[in-house]
Structure 1
Amino acid sequence: MAKRFLILVAGAGMAAVAGYATAASNWVEISERGNQICIRSNSIPNHTTGSFPNRGNPHRIRPQNINVCVTASPRKTNRARGAGPGAIGIALNGVLIRPGTADYWDPRSPRGHSRDRSSGWNLEGMGSARTLGIDSANAHVDNRGTYHYHGKPISALKTRGGTQVGYAADGFEIHYVGGRAKSGYRLKSGTRPSGPGGKYDGSYVEDWVYVGGAGTLDQCNGGMLNGKYVYFATNTFPFYPRCFFGRPSRSFRGL
């Protein structure tokens, strides 16, 4: 079946990396294939980035070959599926969305954190933004050179107009409506009983608890918009969905 193109953005911007522009510019193609929406991109953003490598992030941005597809008719189930530290979705500018991290508090590491999960205290990307070298677009770079978002992509919100900023891996749209979408998560009160100690300040995922309440989003940062269920990018934790009410596409595995 022939592809019906929904949007094509090429050469829409240059990414500043360590004080100079990359050789590649932003390229993204969004198309419809049967009952799937497919996104191909080089993962180069359509906006200026921070300088990479930097003190908290030793990696350099490199063009990627991103090719993912999601269902065009997602179905909401009654059970939330947990999402790992990998990509939970993709922005309309072709940059992956990864709100979680694979880093944990580790007092034995020179950096104070590592991939050793034994402490049980998982670094929160935006709560540890300075530690992880996250830039003003709420993004940084992994060891493969993949630039990706941890918080809402401030500079990319107008890619298509309207409020949609991307797609989650299970096919539900991701929208940003500012303060109109209120997270149901709250910081715990008091101090941490173990691990890094100190006051709950949002540096770790475990600093947060879902309490819900009237007018707040569900535990996957979802809710109704114009009569349909969508996920939201929010100004506060969890910033993006950390779980799915649909079935995530296998094409996001390893991203």
Structure 2
Amino acid sequence: MKAFRLKYLAARQIIKASGLMVATSLLTLAANSAQAHNNQVTIKDQGNKRCILSNGLPDHSTGSFPNRGNPHTISAQSIRLCVNKNPKKRSRATPIRGSIGVALNGVQIRPGTADYYDPSGRRGFSRNRSSGWNLEGMGARTQLGMDRNNAHVDQRGLYHYHGPSRALSKSGKGTLIGYAADGFEIHYVGKRKTSSYKLKGGKRSSGPGGRHDGTYVQDWQYVAGSGNLDQCNGGTLNGKFVYFATDTYPFFPRCLWGSASSDFKVGRGRGNQRGQRPQFGQGGQRPNNGFLGRSNQANNQSFGGQRPQGRGMGQGRFGPPQEALQACTSKNTGQRCGFNAPGGRQISGTCGVTPDRQLACMPRGGRRP
């Protein structure tokens, strides 16, 4: 026990001294009380679909829930997630929120969080996105009460992974650990595949301040060629395209090259993340950010005459297109941005928060340039 404590304290000193995101092998030194669960999962083919049915409970022991950082209790779910057996890679990647895939043991993979820096929040963060600084799950493991499997529980009792772990690897078949929402495989091969995301240098210019240390998604930036994976943690394995889980950010893909199954969309699919009513400013007033308080026709004009395809208010009627969301990836509110609208027009503006609390590129003046 004494030797373990010395190793644990040494790991803490490394983390404190470097201020960088560390590999999972170091993070798993923290001790957790073990809880066993009755895992039930079935994977079967149905036509051109591969369906995973499970009770959402893992096939390995977990930490104790609730705990100091996570007030929720693990409970069995009724999960049915189907993906394409023969996915096609498209020319453009799509950012994904919520669950991006499912492990072979039937546990969902959800690397991101819905929490943002909020100095008025009880814990220093909340679901209010106005700061633009999105809490990174693996960068805030302690605050979010994760166990040694880099997983925790949501308000519905759903246990889910934010990063890879030894237990997850053992749950797989060879290097295969699961399937992404678009049907492509997810593999873990250790250090053979490395992420192309790097920490930004210097200090944060707004929000929480301090150094870019990996606590927030916006601390990271994609640097093409710095690793051997693309912006979605994708690459080739045995001659075919797959996604990879990595020991450093983004840990799991945060965007997909294929078409995501509707089972994974926010608010759809049993056992998946439920949509939440958007929270507006004081007095329940909706912010005027170029997407709100305007007719559908006016919104169409703002995006080159094309109907926005985002999942905002009214199932896409007032939401931004994916191009607007991608333009603000790794940016903060108020920063300049630009993108090519679905209609071909070039749009310029600044990053702002949409009614369904997504960070997107807002056209200047809310009108077509």
Q: TM-score, normalised by structure 1?
A: 0.90
Give the AA of the match of 2:44: S
Equivalences for residues 198-237 of structure 1 within 5 A: 198-213=210-225, 215-237=227-249
The residue that corresponds to 1:33 in the other structure is: 46
Structure showing greater radius of gyration is 2
The residue that corresponds to 1:137 in the other structure is: 149
C-alpha distance 218-21 of structure 1, shift in aligned 2 (>3 A): closer
- Matched residues in 2 for 1:165 and 1:126: separation? 19
Q: Which runs of 5+ in 1 are unaligned?
A: 1-17
Q: Conserved in 1, the CA contact under 8 Å of 2:116 and 2:135?
A: yes
2:209 is the counterpart of 1:197: yes
Task: Kindly state the Cα deviation for residue 212 of structure 1 after the two structures are TM-superposed.
Answer: 1.7
The residue that corresponds to 2:119 in the other structure is: 107
C-alpha distance 187-19 of structure 1, shift in aligned 2 (>3 A): closer
The residue that corresponds to 1:74 in the other structure is: 87
The residue that corresponds to 1:62 in the other structure is: 75
Query: Does 1 or 2 have the higher relative contact order (CA < 8 Å, sep 6+)?
Result: 1
Task: Kindly state the Cα deviation for residue 160 of structure 1 after the two structures are TM-superposed.
Answer: 3.9
- Matched residues in 2 for 1:160 and 1:188: separation? 33
C-alpha distance 194-50 of structure 1, shift in aligned 2 (>3 A): same
- Matched residues in 2 for 1:160 and 1:87: separation? 18
Percent pairwise identity = 60
SS in 1 for 2:263: helix
SS in 1 for 2:170: coil
2:156 is the counterpart of 1:151: no
The residue that corresponds to 1:50 in the other structure is: 63
The residue that corresponds to 2:183 in the other structure is: 171
**CA displacement, residues 135-165 of structure 1 (integer Å, 9 cap, x when unaligned):** 1000000000000000014202122431000
Q: Conserved in 1, the CA contact under 8 Å of 2:34 and 2:63?
A: no
**CA displacement, residues 148-205 of structure 1 (integer Å, 9 cap, x when unaligned):** 0000142021224310000000000000000011000000000000000000000000
Please identify which structure carries the higher helix content. Answer: 2
**CA displacement, residues 34-61 of structure 1 (integer Å, 9 cap, x when unaligned):** 1110000001011111111111111000
Q: Conserved in 2, the CA contact under 8 Å of 1:121 and 1:206?
A: yes
The residue that corresponds to 2:137 in the other structure is: 125
SS in 2 for 1:117: coil
Q: Conserved in 2, the CA contact under 8 Å of 1:138 and 1:154?
A: no
* RMSD over equivalenced CA pairs, Å: 1.4
The residue that corresponds to 2:335 in the other structure is: none
Give the AA of the match of 2:139: G
- Matched residues in 1 for 2:33 and 2:198: separation? 38
C-alpha distance 194-214 of structure 1, shift in aligned 2 (>3 A): closer
SS in 2 for 1:156: helix
SS in 2 for 1:119: coil
Give the AA of the match of 1:127: G
**CA displacement, residues 69-106 of structure 1 (integer Å, 9 cap, x when unaligned):** 0000000011010111x100000000000000000000
Count residues with an aligned counterpart: 236
- Matched residues in 1 for 2:127 and 2:137: separation? 14
Give the AA of the match of 1:52: F
Give the AA of the match of 1:89: G
Q: TM-score, normalised by structure 2?
A: 0.62
2:192 is the counterpart of 1:180: yes
Q: Which runs of 4+ in 1 moved over 4 A?
A: 18-22
Task: Kindly state the Cα deviation for residue 19 of structure 1 after the two structures are TM-superposed.
Answer: 6.0
- Matched residues in 2 for 1:91 and 1:20: separation? 20
Q: Conserved in 2, the CA contact under 8 Å of 1:59 and 1:145?
A: yes
SS in 2 for 1:179: helix
2:257 to 229, 245, 250: 245
SS in 2 for 1:127: helix
2:173 is the counterpart of 1:161: yes
